[in-house]
Amino acid sequence: MDSTSYDYAVVGTGAAGLHLAMAMATDKFFDSKKILLLEKSQKDVNDKTWCFWEKGVGKWDGIATKIWDQAQFMATDQQINLNMGAYRYKMLASFDFYTYTKNELRKKSNFAWVNVEVGNILCDKITTIETNGQAYLAKHVFDSRITPNFYNSTDNYTRLLQHFKGWIIETDEDVFDDTSFVMMDFRITVPNTTCFTYVLPINPKMALIEFTFFSPSLVEDEIYENLLSRYVKEILKLEKYKIVNREKGVIPMSDYPFHKDNNQHLTKIGTAGGWVKPASGYSFKNAERYSQRIVDNIKNNRLPSYKLVNTLFRKYDTLFIDVLYHHNQLGVGLFETMYRKNEAHKILAFLDEETTRVEEFIIMNSFSRWPFMRALFKKIFS
Ligand SMILES: Cc1cc2nc3c(=O)[nH]c(=O)nc-3n(C[C@H](O)[C@H](O)[C@H](O)COP(=O)(O)OP(=O)(O)OC[C@H]3O[C@@H](n4cnc5c(N)ncnc54)[C@H](O)[C@@H]3O)c2cc1C
């Protein structure tokens, strides 16, 4: 048993754990607190690329791989230049984020790190974190491990998956316009499925091309490979290119009540805490936002998880993923309608849960030709 009694312990230093640790490290209130970070892996590889949007200058601009001010949406029959307003779309390599945050956190003497796999966490007056051979005590634990119940529960929750494969490709000639990225391209799809390509030009000779599905189940690896290679050939019209890196991922888009595992001594964070926006699969920016809310809650003597998730927006999300889960063939039409009828910056604000009820009504009203959607919206508002 480690005899130190920590004020806070963070299990897992991925996106959420590091955002939370950084939010604590940059607030003087926590200078007198002992904080323990427990992580099973070395976090010394670039295991993913994070993208997110925010207005103007942000905390991570200094380590961003690329920032875009312009974007396009490629409908089946039309290119739509998106009006991003004040939003900028940013790309960050996870390795750069791990390295930068680890260096910053190592400067703080009240933070301790242990490289260990956490087992059971026993919540009592003081919480015990068990690992193979050692136990740690903390007043409150933030846990980024996804509960097995999420996968095993037989309850009727919607479990849509955002699953994708990306290639970083390099060319000899300048072929990409790196001033702009493609949010969604529906010109190559699999019939009756919600899927699209996402294109992020890093420089004129290099781009990340990702083929993404929002669907109930995964597909074989060769399907992503074929679709990516078709996109490069038929849409980008490239014959000569090199694949310099590949990225694959699965992100749950679900209404599973992750928050139910929170209690006085433990708060689930990140994907495990339901921080992934169900309707979009994005969570990097939520992790920054929710970590700040946790810090504010602690400073105001509230439960750390107090009002982390906005319940009205969760209802919108639930509706959207429910439609896509049961009518996966409708995704193309729904996204095309949304981007044809609304300014992109309004959609981004809506996804950030920062719109007014009137703005939400306007976005929903764009789907008025979809009768079943109207009925479902009525259900939400009632
Ligand atoms: C390939 C990929 C690309 C993504 N791209 C984006 C994107 O562009 N934009 C966006 O907003 N979101 C994106 N996401 C979704 C989401 O932002 C990430 O999954 C994000 O990493 C989730 O953060 P997290 O902290 O919940 O999980 P993680 O970052 O996975 O961190 C969990 C940490 O817990 C550790 N851990 C697990 N079990 C234990 C244990 N028993 N003991 C100790 N440590 C443990 C793990 O090693 C890991 O470091 C992406 C996801 C994937 C998979």
Read off the CATH number of the domain in which 9 is found: 3.50.50.60
Q: Where does the pLDDT of residue 258 fall: very low under 50, low under 70, confident under 90, or very high at 90 and above?
A: very high
Quick check: is 77 in a domain? Answer: no
pLDDT at 372: 61
> Where is average pLDDT lowest: 122-131, 162-171, 272-281?
122-131
Please give the torsion angle defined by the CA atoms of residues 97, 281, 213 and 73, in that order, rounded to the nearest 10 degrees: -90
Find the DSSP H helices in the chain.
Answer: 15-25, 94-106, 148-152, 221-230, 284-299, 311-326, 331-341, 344-351, 357-365, 371-381
Q: Which atom from ligand 1 is nearest to the alpha carbon of 270?
A: 26
Token pair 């994708």: residue: 164
pLDDT digits (tens, 9 = 90+) for 306-316: 999 898 999 89
Say yes or no: 281 and 319 in one domain.
no
pLDDT value at 86 more than 80: yes
Q: Where does the pLDDT of residue 154 fall: very low under 50, low under 70, confident under 90, or very high at 90 and above?
A: confident
pLDDT at 156: 83
pLDDT at 4: 76
Q: Which residue has the higher pLDDT, 91 or 361?
A: 91
Quick check: is 53 in a domain? Answer: no
Read off the pTM.
Answer: 0.95
Residue at 88: amino acid letter: R
pLDDT digits (tens, 9 = 90+) for 210-238: 999 999 999 999 999 999 999 999 999 99
Say yes or no: 41 and 140 in one domain.
yes
Distance CA 54, CA 131 (A): 38
- The candidate with the shortest Cα–Cα distance to 27, out of 111, 99, 91, is 111
Domain assignment of residue 235, given as a range: 159-253
Question: Where are the extended beta strands (E) located within the chain?
Answer: 5-11, 35-39, 49-55, 66-68, 70-74, 79-82, 87-93, 111-115, 118-122, 127-131, 134-143, 159-170, 180-185, 195-203, 206-215, 242-254, 266-268
Q: How confident is the model over 99-108, as a mean pLDDT?
A: 96
pLDDT at 365: 85
Distance CA 12, CA 269 (A): 9
Quick check: is 128 in a domain? Answer: yes
- The candidate with the shortest Cα–Cα distance to 162, out of 248, 48, 50, is 248
Domain count for the chain: 3
Say yes or no: 149 and 163 in one domain.
no
Question: CATH number of the domain that 231 lies in?
Answer: 3.30.9.10
Q: How confident is the model over 368-380, as a mean pLDDT?
A: 65
> Where is average pLDDT lowest: 95-109, 267-281, 286-300, 310-324?
310-324
Measure 169 CA to ligand 1 centroid, in angstroms. Answer: 24
Measure 17 CA to ligand 1 centroid, in angstroms. Answer: 9
pLDDT value at 368 more than 80: no
**Is ligand 1 within 6 A of the CB of residue 48?**
yes
**The two structure tokens encoding residue 280:** 């979009």
Distance CA 285, CA 292 (A): 11
Measure 284 CA to ligand 1 centroid, in angstroms. Answer: 9
